[in-house]
Structure 1
Amino acid sequence: MKRLFAKILLFFLTPVLIISCNAVKRLDADQNLLVKNEIFSNGEDVKDSRIYSQLYQEPNTRILNFPLGLHIYNLARPNIDSILSEKFLENDQKQKKLVSLLSKKQFDRYLKSGVEFNEWLKRTGEAPVIVSEEDTKKSENRLQSWYWNNGWFNVETDYKIIPLENKEKRARIEYYVTPHEPYILDSINTDIPSKALDSLYELNKAESEIKSGTQYNTLDFNEERDRLSQLFRNNGVYNFDQEYISFDADTVETNHKLNTTLIIKNQRNNIGDSISSIPFKIHKISKVNIFTDYEFSNRNEVLADSARHEGYSLYSFEEMRYKPESISDAVFVKPGSIYSDIDRTRTYNRLNTLRIFKYPEIKYTLDPDDSTGTDLVTNIFLTPLPKYSLGFDFDVSQSNIQEFGIGFGGSFLIRNIFGGLENLEVSGRGSIASSTDAAKSNNDNRFFDITEVGADMKLSLPRIFLPVNTEKIIPKYMSPFTNMSLGFSTQRNIGLDKQTFSGILNYAWKPSKKLTNSFDLLNIQYVRNLNTENYFNVYRNSYEELNEIARQSNFEFNNPNNDPSLEIPNEADEFINYVVSDNFPNTGLNEDDFFNVLDIYERKLRLTENNLIFASAFTYLWNTRESLYDREFSRFRFKLETAGNILSALSGVLDYEQNEQGKSKVVGVAYSQYVKTEIDFIKHWDIGKDQVFATRAFGGIAIPYGNANTIPITKTFFAGGPNDNRAWQAYDLGPGSSGSILEFNEANFKLAFNGEYRFSLIDQFKGALFVDVGNIWNVLDSNTSEEFVFEGFQDLKELAVGSGFGLRYDFNFFVLRFDVGFKTHDPARPEGERWFKDYNFNHAVYNVGINYPF
């Protein structure tokens, strides 16, 4: 296998080595390829990437120190038209031969395709960066500007172009910077003739971005302009603009001190041909008019309905469809308040989150009834979206338990169902799939043997629905919502077949643009298994182990022969009862076999029992990503979930029935009780030239207590798969060093760490190199097997390491991903034999996914 891997590597590297010799083949004799930039400040090598980013020319992009884009560009012929003309058009004999063979139309298309392919190579590749005296001078000027903008007003710069002696047509550039002493801000004075602005400035002077004693920085002055503009516009100065702000700096004979004066001019006032200036004034909102069903087509029609609520005037061209208090509650611009940009922005955001209206329009005009010229009339134009919306979705999938699957669904949305801006969404979903599992019945030869059907109903209210007022804790600018949902699904598959009922009462709010909070006051889930007698057909590994133990025991098989097997389900259950109910010496088994049967029995009970989960959960999400195109951002998520506490608290009032294990039952099911927490952190760094380094760290633990010894399988963790450790398939890693001996491996403690270097290849094709680290373990539950359990930091040596590479294609609105993962450190192998033992394509795991893994 090592020889095969070497051959594959040689296959890819050979053309690379061949074309790498021709990196400068398109350059003229007097041209040099730029291979390196170096910047020296006072003779010392500069490392700051911000300073290097000022350079006008940078060397060609390299992937693993190889300029792939440059070589692709060099594959293109610079004079393709003359080459094709000489080869085909000017050679009558060859032209006639090809025309007779292809036809004239196909011949012309052949020539055109050659030109188009040549142009594609140029577009896809990267033209050689040729050292230019003019561009180098531009880089020098940019360096000079950067240092000047950071306080070094007397900076001196120079450069030198140095051809490489040992490589033809290549050169590097050295830039030399002598900053000299920087300038420090000294006195800060003001010239603000408007009393209103001067008063606002003095009240908020402590928050200034420019401070005496700090080194001059142009960005600080720009940020101070932004701060002052926002300050004034959020405190009533409706018509203020940044162009009124300027700074006057004095550096003459100040011993490298800078004395600055903040100047804020009066407002320009144009009357006819004359221009004058008047002091800025504070404006307040006198009226707020809301047009609830405005459209451009009805702008000139007569209003048919109106209403008033807490100073707001609401108008409608038809009968009013909205409760006035609901509409006014979504508007932050209040009659009688001071004008504020924040109020306008919050109104836009809140109205958009309702999913009731198209993007609203808010206009301000001077109140004609006000003689002082300070009152503003606010007109808000709302255009409703359709009352009803219908949506459909369809997808095709593949996983480790199904060869092929088709999913489909639909949703029906009713907007403003009760007149208070509530939305009701009813959705249905279904799927059919073909299994890969051996548990398929011999009498069931259907291709699609997995089916699932479900339905959900969700009501969304634009407020916190509680009997107490939460305005002081969660003000309306946080866009609060109450979501109530009910769900049902039934699943028929190769497994145990399940019915699931769920109900959720959720509150969500956004304290800021980056922060989102979500609180499930109630999250109720009831899972009912319909086909428990099929357990040992599904979990074949458990059955094979049980059957082997039975052959070594005194158990009498129903069909004894030379190779007896336990019949499923009755005989397998009889053998378990035979072992568990008797003292193991009478069964002919040793102590290890007895406890193995006991483990199989306890796992079967857990996986076949019905679940009742009465949970509450809080999720904190901080995300600096503003759009799909952000390349540098961070994301932090914390979730805390508890279950069973309410039912446990009622145990003193209600007389619960007990099951065989002594656990309390509600509606015939032992309820789950646990605490679960998850911490997930993602960080992306943009390292330039279409390259990103992405990392993720995840930790999660779920601890049973009280009425439970284990965690419901729907609440446990698994490892492996296209979005986790890609060197293992989903559910195929762990727990611990057990070696994934079960069909579906899960546990209640998980650690996962991922690092990925992403880079551009050709056109929309992207590449990636990644390392995934992680595993799952059992902790503080009923499992006591040493290889399964996390007992301390020494078990961190059981962290699995996978590494590999990936190829992605960016469709702009989503990314199609293909990753290959290799087992780098396998904790299932004996110690000393865990590193790089299956590091080859035969043991690789191939993952296909949509979008990036994190």
Structure 2
Amino acid sequence: MNLKKLNNSMSKKAFLGLTLFLAIFLLQACSVKKFIPEDELLYTGADIELDSQDEIANKKDLKNQLQTLLTPSPNAKFLGTRWGLYFHYKAQKEKPGFINKFLNRKFGEEPVYLSDVDPYHTEELLKNRLENRGYFYSTVDFTLEEKRKQKLASISYHATLPEEPYVLEKYRMDNDSLRIYREIKETLSESLIDEGEPFNLSVLKLERERIDIALKERGYYNFSNNFLIFESDTNQYDRKKFDLFLRLKKQVPEEAIKPYKVKRVNIYPNYAIGTDSIDRDTVRYNGRNYIQNEVFFKPEKLDPYILIKEGELYSPTESGRTSRRLTSLGTYKFVNIRYDVLDSISTDSIGYLEANIFLSPLNKRSIRAELQAVTKSNNFAGPHLALTYTNRNLFHGGEILKLTGKVGYEQQLSADSDVGNTSIILGLNSDFIIPRMLFPIIEINSNWFEYSIPKTKISAGFEYLNRTGLFNLFSVSGSFGYIWKANRYITHELNPFSVDYVQLNESDRFGEILKENPFLASSFDQQFIAGLTYSFIYNGMVDASDTHQFFLNANLDLTGNILDALSGGETPKTFLGLRFAQYAKADADFRYHFKLSPEQTIATRLFAGLGVPYGNSDVMPFSRQYFAGGPYSIRAFQIRSLGPGTYKPQGDLSYYDQMGNIRLEANVEYRFPIFQILKGAVFADAGNVWNTERNNLPPGDELTEQQEELIEKGTFSSNFLNEVAVGAGVGLRVDIQSFVIRFDLAAPLRIPWLEEGDRWDPRLTEPVFNFAIGYPF
């Protein structure tokens, strides 16, 4: 036998034996048995068995419901050891030490002993729940299982069910001449109670709530579900069947069984809490009273947001929609809708309400100065000073004007070159938001949009960027579009008009770079970008307590088509003397968060994007191309250090080559708490960028060897999966009420520019450090 192989084999066996010995030793050392008091037994849990002569319908669901009643829950166990309980016991020592205190605070659990369990009370709960599901006359008993030597105890419950549950034969409403009975009967087509189903008390409770909601929508302002009662009748059947009758309880108040109409609607557009609302001027507009001393908000502008109408029945849905619309204006701090019952004759078959809408405004004007620490996706970071002026009701119609001036200095972290790694930024931006949909041709009716009224947003601004030693950029941008929420999850943003113009003044150094790189020069040539953009956002993460949370941001950018139609002549075409870009671009950012607990989450993201130049463009404009790497992308690689494909340029400023019009990326991250505001994460990222053939240089151009390599290695193909970069790492986050400072350390695992077959090359000793603000996804 080969001696070397024998030694290796013996070494492996010795290693495995030592590992097994250490594992057994560790589990024994962490045993909690020695900490359990002499007169106590540690409770290890309970189970329940269901028994019946006939097959139990929905047995799994029924058993799961009964399991929730088996309280308290025992101490958690992992790998044979109750670690939480162990940490708790260790912290009770006379001098527990800092580590034991910390582990107990984060993971410790109070012990659950058999003496903490009341099995007789649990028996009653189980019988009650079985009766609520139609299994009347069930019996429940329990058995204790004690292991005195191990100081453990458990309980087994056994439930004996009758042959079958009581099943509903007929569901009826009592007959009565009252109008409310007729109203209830009209809602029974939407009943949650189905004939032929077993008795279920929880369904009956839900049915009462459903009827209460339906009646309130029909104007029954003072009704309550407590006024309804169900009665059952089993006398007509030999087998286990019953009829169910719904009626009103006796002595229900008169005001609860009649509908109410809104007689008056009063709106206070400039209401201050605690002030008198009587001595003010009243303006009557569109059947409503607008009460204000001076015009703070024009009635004709505010009126479309109010859906409560005089002469109509009370409706909680219309009240909720009105409140939501008014809150969305951004002008008001508080929106309070109060209904007052007006006096009426007791014999009246209908009551009357007065609706009072109190609107407490925010400060109309504000000035805010911010000193910001900025980090960007291109790895530039530095201080910014921003001064913002806001007017929240500019023309007394809820218009919001926001002007922001900024100045900043940035430096690129971990830059490979000493040229172009610092920036000076000056800028002025303005946003004018009108809480109505302005359309140049036809008038848009606000009632076309049920959930919220679209807003018109007009934006304009300019920015001056000095990239030291390379170039100066002066850019002007503007857009006209609409924002509206379809419901609480979905937001649309449509900009029919969007324009960007950039004037580039390059240094000699940057001019040489452009001369040597016609691909880069071509993408910088097209600095006039005008077109249409659309964004769709689905944000299911507004329900922060949901276990499964989804988010989708899809974007469409169509640029240059109108200008192409207006311009004549041969390609390349110009508009106002400027060559314009023409392309189509679409991308989607999909995220899924799985919440293991309130503070533990598995977060995932998939991103896919494609831009296609055509017509007047040979390549995508530089500012519209994709890049990979950095704190918001694949964190094991520096910003713009990946791709396209397997391409790896050499020399200074090579990252300008590393762009593409295709981007694919996938990320997964496990987030967990460490201590108070300090959170931790373990993550993995994968992805890259590529070029399509259309985004390469046109045929016939004289190419350098470097450019030929870029086209060869950077073009997307069916082999793209073999060109994906992979990295993994760990992170720390300081999370202060959703303001997050993030530190990530990641190492490359798969490097696409290496030779095929050698790309899986973990470089754990060459990690990349990332600093950023906010979570990456």
Residue 286 of structure 2 is matched in structure 1 by 310
Residue 622 of structure 2 is matched in structure 1 by 713
Q: 2:30 aligns with which of 8, 12, 21?
A: 21
Measured against aligned partners, the alpha-carbon deviations of 1:590-637 in whole angstroms (never above 9, x if no partner) come to xxxxxxxxxx3222332x324222121222222233355655422233
C-alpha distance in structure 2 between counterparts of 1:334 and 1:609, whole Å: 58
**For the structure 1 residues 58 and 824, does the alpha-carbon distance in structure 2 shift closer, same or farther, using more than 3 Å as the test?**
farther
After TM superposition, list the pairs within 5 Å mapping 1:37-186 onto structure 2.
Answer: 54-60=69-75, 69-79=84-94, 122-132=104-114, 134-135=116-117, 137=119, 168-169=150-151, 181-186=164-169
Residue 603 of structure 1 is matched in structure 2 by 520
Confirm or deny that 1:672 pairs with 2:581. yes
Confirm or deny that 1:527 pairs with 2:502. yes
**For the structure 1 residues 127 and 341, does the alpha-carbon distance in structure 2 shift closer, same or farther, using more than 3 Å as the test?**
same
Question: Offset of 1:735 from its aligned partner?
Answer: 2.5
Q: CA RMSD in A?
A: 3.9
Confirm or deny that 1:820 pairs with 2:712. no
Q: 2:243 aligns with which of 259, 263, 269?
A: 259
- Report the secondary structure of 1:647's partner residue: helix
> Does structure 1 conserve the Cα–Cα contact (< 8 Å) formed by 2:187 and 2:211?
no
C-alpha distance in structure 2 between counterparts of 1:158 and 1:847, whole Å: 60
C-alpha distance in structure 1 between counterparts of 2:671 and 2:123, whole Å: 31
Q: 1:230 aligns with which of 209, 213, 217?
A: 213
> Does structure 2 conserve the Cα–Cα contact (< 8 Å) formed by 1:193 and 1:266?
no
**For the structure 1 residues 708 and 355, does the alpha-carbon distance in structure 2 shift closer, same or farther, using more than 3 Å as the test?**
same
AA paired with 2:299? P
AA paired with 1:427? T
After TM superposition, list the pairs within 5 Å mapping 1:241-640 onto structure 2.
Answer: 241-250=224-233, 255-265=239-249, 268-269=252-253, 277=254, 280-299=257-276, 302-303=279-280, 305-316=281-292, 318-368=293-343, 372=348, 374-397=351-374, 405-435=382-412, 437=415, 440=418, 449-466=422-439, 467-471=441-445, 474-475=448-449, 477-494=451-468, 495-531=470-506, 533-535=508-510, 568=512, 573=515, 576=516, 600-606=517-523, 608-626=524-542, 632-640=548-556
> Does structure 2 conserve the Cα–Cα contact (< 8 Å) formed by 1:523 and 1:616?
yes
> Does structure 2 conserve the Cα–Cα contact (< 8 Å) formed by 1:19 and 1:71?
no
Question: Offset of 1:514 from its aligned partner?
Answer: 2.1
AA paired with 2:473? K
**For the structure 1 residues 258 and 665, does the alpha-carbon distance in structure 2 shift closer, same or farther, using more than 3 Å as the test?**
farther
C-alpha distance in structure 2 between counterparts of 1:825 and 1:38, whole Å: 48
Measured against aligned partners, the alpha-carbon deviations of 1:414-460 in whole angstroms (never above 9, x if no partner) come to 1221122211111122221234546546xx9xxx9421121111111
Question: Offset of 1:284 from its aligned partner?
Answer: 1.6
**For the structure 1 residues 284 and 489, does the alpha-carbon distance in structure 2 shift closer, same or farther, using more than 3 Å as the test?**
same
Q: Indicate the percent of aligned positions where both proteins have the same amino acid.
A: 28
TM-score by length of 1: 0.75
**For the structure 1 residues 243 and 791, does the alpha-carbon distance in structure 2 shift closer, same or farther, using more than 3 Å as the test?**
same
AA paired with 2:655? E
> Does structure 1 conserve the Cα–Cα contact (< 8 Å) formed by 2:295 and 2:396?
no
AA paired with 1:797? N
> Does structure 2 conserve the Cα–Cα contact (< 8 Å) formed by 1:73 and 1:124?
no
Measured against aligned partners, the alpha-carbon deviations of 1:392-418 in whole angstroms (never above 9, x if no partner) come to 333324579667511221211112211
- Report the secondary structure of 2:647's partner residue: coil
C-alpha distance in structure 1 between counterparts of 2:597 and 2:196, whole Å: 34
Confirm or deny that 1:738 pairs with 2:650. no
Residue 695 of structure 1 is matched in structure 2 by 604
**For the structure 1 residues 694 and 183, does the alpha-carbon distance in structure 2 shift closer, same or farther, using more than 3 Å as the test?**
farther
**For the structure 1 residues 203 and 119, does the alpha-carbon distance in structure 2 shift closer, same or farther, using more than 3 Å as the test?**
same
> Does structure 1 conserve the Cα–Cα contact (< 8 Å) formed by 2:377 and 2:630?
no
Confirm or deny that 1:838 pairs with 2:762. yes
**Paired positions, count:** 727
Unaligned runs of 5+ in 2: 1-14, 697-709
> Does structure 2 conserve the Cα–Cα contact (< 8 Å) formed by 1:20 and 1:71?
no
**For the structure 1 residues 408 and 268, does the alpha-carbon distance in structure 2 shift closer, same or farther, using more than 3 Å as the test?**
farther
C-alpha distance in structure 1 between counterparts of 2:616 and 2:248, whole Å: 69
AA paired with 1:802? G
C-alpha distance in structure 2 between counterparts of 1:63 and 1:454, whole Å: 57
**For the structure 1 residues 689 and 337, does the alpha-carbon distance in structure 2 shift closer, same or farther, using more than 3 Å as the test?**
closer
> Does structure 1 conserve the Cα–Cα contact (< 8 Å) formed by 2:27 and 2:81?
no
Residue 798 of structure 1 is matched in structure 2 by 723
**For the structure 1 residues 709 and 733, does the alpha-carbon distance in structure 2 shift closer, same or farther, using more than 3 Å as the test?**
same
Question: Offset of 1:178 from its aligned partner?
Answer: 6.0
TM-score by length of 2: 0.82
Question: Offset of 1:210 from its aligned partner?
Answer: 2.2
**For the structure 1 residues 685 and 439, does the alpha-carbon distance in structure 2 shift closer, same or farther, using more than 3 Å as the test?**
closer
Q: 1:749 aligns with which of 637, 662, 677?
A: 662
**For the structure 1 residues 635 and 141, does the alpha-carbon distance in structure 2 shift closer, same or farther, using more than 3 Å as the test?**
farther
Measured against aligned partners, the alpha-carbon deviations of 1:107-153 in whole angstroms (never above 9, x if no partner) come to xxxxxxx8x99877654442244342543736666666666655555
Unaligned runs of 5+ in 1: 1-5, 84-113, 270-276, 537-567, 577-599
- Report the secondary structure of 1:199's partner residue: helix
After TM superposition, list the pairs within 5 Å mapping 1:713-792 onto structure 2.
Answer: 713-739=622-648, 742-744=654-656, 745-783=658-696, 785-792=711-718
Residue 187 of structure 2 is matched in structure 1 by 204
C-alpha distance in structure 2 between counterparts of 1:799 and 1:51, whole Å: 49
Residue 560 of structure 1 is matched in structure 2 by none
Question: Offset of 1:41 from its aligned partner?
Answer: 5.6
C-alpha distance in structure 1 between counterparts of 2:395 and 2:774, whole Å: 38
AA paired with 1:774? G
- Report the secondary structure of 1:785's partner residue: helix
Question: Offset of 1:310 from its aligned partner?
Answer: 0.9
AA paired with 2:92? R
AA paired with 1:461? I
C-alpha distance in structure 2 between counterparts of 1:72 and 1:786, whole Å: 59
